[in-house]
Amino acid sequence: MDVKMWTYLIVGLTFALYIGIAIWSRAGSTKEFYVAGGGVSPLANGMATAADWMSAASFISMAGIISFAGYDGAVYLMGWTGGYVLLALLLAPYLRKFGKFTVPDFIGDRYYSNTARTVAVICALIVSFTYVAGQMRGVGLVFSRFLEISIEWGVVVGMVIVFFYAVLGGMKGITYTQVAQYCVLIFAYMVPAIFISLALTGNAFPQIGFGSTLNDGSGVYLLDKLDGLNQELGFAAYTDGTKSMVDVFAITFALMVGTAGLPHVIVRFFTVPKVKDARQSAGYALLFIAILYTTAPAVAAFARTNMINTVSNKEYATMPEWFKKWELTKLIKFEDKNGDGKIQYLKDKETNELTVDNDIMVLANPEIAGLPNWVIALVAAGGLAAALSTAAGLLLVISTSISHDLIKKQLNPNISEKNELLWARIAAGLAIVIAGYFGINPPGFVAAVVALAFGLAAASFFPAIILGIFSKRMNMQGAVAGMIVGITLMIFYMLKFKFGIFDGGKDAVAGLAKSWWFGISPEGFGTVAMLANFAVAWAVSFMTPPPPAHVQQIVEDIRIPRGAGEAHAH
């Protein structure tokens, strides 16, 4: 069977599975729609969280980025896993004990203010929308390459599927489809990784093969070989990287803190029955994530070795079939600058003849390594599972923000349960249409903003939540001032150094790198903005009266596990 048939078969089967689960787990109440009834087991929630969290970016792009960045790729590996330690130790158990439906719920109640609630809703919407557009784009990319239909139709098919289970099932449907999606995506990631590890190093565990000698009888370690290849072509040694230490530090920190502040991740911990379960399921979630995250750097190193060996200084005419196929998608571009018919892949921009997009490293990896057709199809299904599961989680946050935090809590507190549920479904449906539109017509800034979404979450939510739990003295004035200063500073820095708004637009951006504050890139600036948020919140809170007694009682109450019961609305 050819790749296309296999892809239709495997993708079709997985989609049938997701729809089957959606029909089986329809939501009947707002509680089921928002938090899956609060009865999800910690293990299932761990899997669902892992799928929720690992997006198209983790599955498709991350290994590719690491492959080109070498050591510097560690910012993503540590940044996107270390945040779970913060989540488990500092946030999840207390928010579970608090027991409401959403993050703006916590901010609004803890800071006894609808202003704080509204600021939180706006932050949640900004973060979630930028993120979800990227997922839809990922769906389109996979469809267009593997099923050879246009990106537009790919996005539409993806929208229909997500619509089906997110709108019908709410959190309940999403949770159980995410469990299935985790299984699909991890299987799809590991199978080619194990094949390639065996082929290159003879070791079945990619995590160990990564540090083993090559299988070619030379006795050279894979990483030493790769350092050498990189340097020959003018790149930095693979294990060294090029970013400054302070920037690596700041980016890693911003990603960790941002992860812990992402509403679609936090809300998953409202779905388990007890505080104990919230702690435990954060552990399971990280364990399931770690399987992919420890494999990704190995895949990155394997892929780069394979790629350089396949293309560097080889005749263009002898390139394998996958090379031509990916050229059609314009993700590989070859320009024979010196007219010798060979491919020169070099660091130097003047003489380099090959550009390779980050995204194809994982998608094309099985083809580059010559793996069987069904493995290639499996990777397509895995990429779709990763993109759809994250999209669904984000859409739920968007719909909850509107039906619960805006309509129920602010505009119309007397709304009936049935109407609130209807609004949640309408909001989810609308959000899917908007996300799909951005998937088909991606504004140029989407890719850039997704990375910065973490900075925004770090600069806004994280300090407000932490202070709300760990400081009884923190009051509304402090928290609101902190969030506003943090997010404003972050947006200002982003506009100045990422988009060059104040210095003549996009073209000025490269030249501005020299004037970064403290040598920190916009991606890492969330760390600075977060510190500013903490400092302002602290200073303002001491100049204004302490929070009322009943709020201090809430803080006392969330610190002990007993009496968590189920998540409730009031």
Partner 1 sequence: MSNKNLKDYWKRNLLYLVILLSIWFLCSYGAGIIWKDSLDSIRFGGFKLGFWFAQQGSIYVFCILIFVYVWLMNKLDKEYDVHED
Q: How far is the CB of 142 from partner 1 (least distance, A)?
A: 26
Question: Which parts of this chain interact with partner 1 (CB under 8 A)?
Answer: 66, 71, 73-74, 77-78, 81-82, 84-85, 88-90, 93, 207, 210-213, 221-224, 239, 245, 248-249, 252-253, 274-276, 279-280, 282-283, 286-287, 290, 293-294, 297, 556, 559-564
What is the dihedral sign for C-alpha 125, 130, 131, 137? Answer: positive
Q: How far is the CB of 35 from partner 1 (least distance, A)?
A: 17
Length of the chain: 570
Burial of residue 122, with CB atoms counted within 10 A of its CB: 0-12 exposed, 13-18 middle, 19 or more buried: middle
What's the helix, strand, coil split of the chain in %, to 5? 75, 0, 25
Distance CA 117, CA 263 (A): 13
Pick 160 or 560: Cβ nearer partner 1:
560
Residue 87 DSSP symbol: I
Q: How far is the CB of 147 from partner 1 (least distance, A)?
A: 34
Pick 191 or 286: Cβ nearer partner 1:
286
Q: How far is the CB of 28 from partner 1 (least distance, A)?
A: 26
Pick 7 or 81: Cβ nearer partner 1:
81
Pick 210 or 323: Cβ nearer partner 1:
210
Residues 499, 535 contacting (CB under 8 angstroms) = no
Q: How far is the CB of 211 from partner 1 (least distance, A)?
A: 4
Query: C-alpha distances in angstroms, 489 versus 60, 227, 304, 460, 525?
Result: 31, 39, 38, 10, 9
Pick 143 or 293: Cβ nearer partner 1:
293
Distance CA 62, CA 70 (A): 11
Residues 372, 339 contacting (CB under 8 angstroms) = no
Question: Among candidates 26, 39, 52, 83, which has minimal Cα distance to 395?
Answer: 52
Q: How far is the CB of 196 from partner 1 (least distance, A)?
A: 16
Pick 279 or 404: Cβ nearer partner 1:
279
Residues 552, 87 contacting (CB under 8 angstroms) = no
- Name the strand (E) or helix (H) holding 198: helix 168-201
Q: How far is the CB of 479 from partner 1 (least distance, A)?
A: 21
Distance CA 378, CA 388 (A): 15
- The residue type of 23 is I
Q: How far is the CB of 354 from partner 1 (least distance, A)?
A: 25
Pick 559 or 568: Cβ nearer partner 1:
559
Distance CA 84, CA 86 (A): 5
Distance CA 237, CA 226 (A): 8
Pick 252 or 399: Cβ nearer partner 1:
252
Angle, CA 331 vertex, CA 329 and CA 334 arms, to 5°: 105
Pick 152 or 557: Cβ nearer partner 1:
557
Report the SS3 class of residue 562. coil
Tokens of 492: 């200002």
Pick 144 or 280: Cβ nearer partner 1:
280
Tokens of 33: 């729609």
Pick 252 or 306: Cβ nearer partner 1:
252
Q: How far is the CB of 296 from partner 1 (least distance, A)?
A: 9
Tell the residue number behind the tokens 């990287």, with chain if given.
241
Q: How far is the CB of 248 from partner 1 (least distance, A)?
A: 5
Q: How far is the CB of 114 from partner 1 (least distance, A)?
A: 30
What is the dihedral sign for C-alpha 343, 349, 355, 360? Answer: positive
Report the SS3 class of residue 214. coil
Residue 504 gets the label, from left (phi > 0), alpha (psi -120 to 50) or beta, of left
Q: How far is the CB of 357 from partner 1 (least distance, A)?
A: 22
- The residue type of 494 is M
Pick 283 or 442: Cβ nearer partner 1:
283
Distance CA 168, CA 162 (A): 10
Pick 77 or 162: Cβ nearer partner 1:
77
Q: How far is the CB of 356 from partner 1 (least distance, A)?
A: 21
Q: Where are the alpha helices (DSSP H) in 55-91?
A: 56, 62-69, 74-86
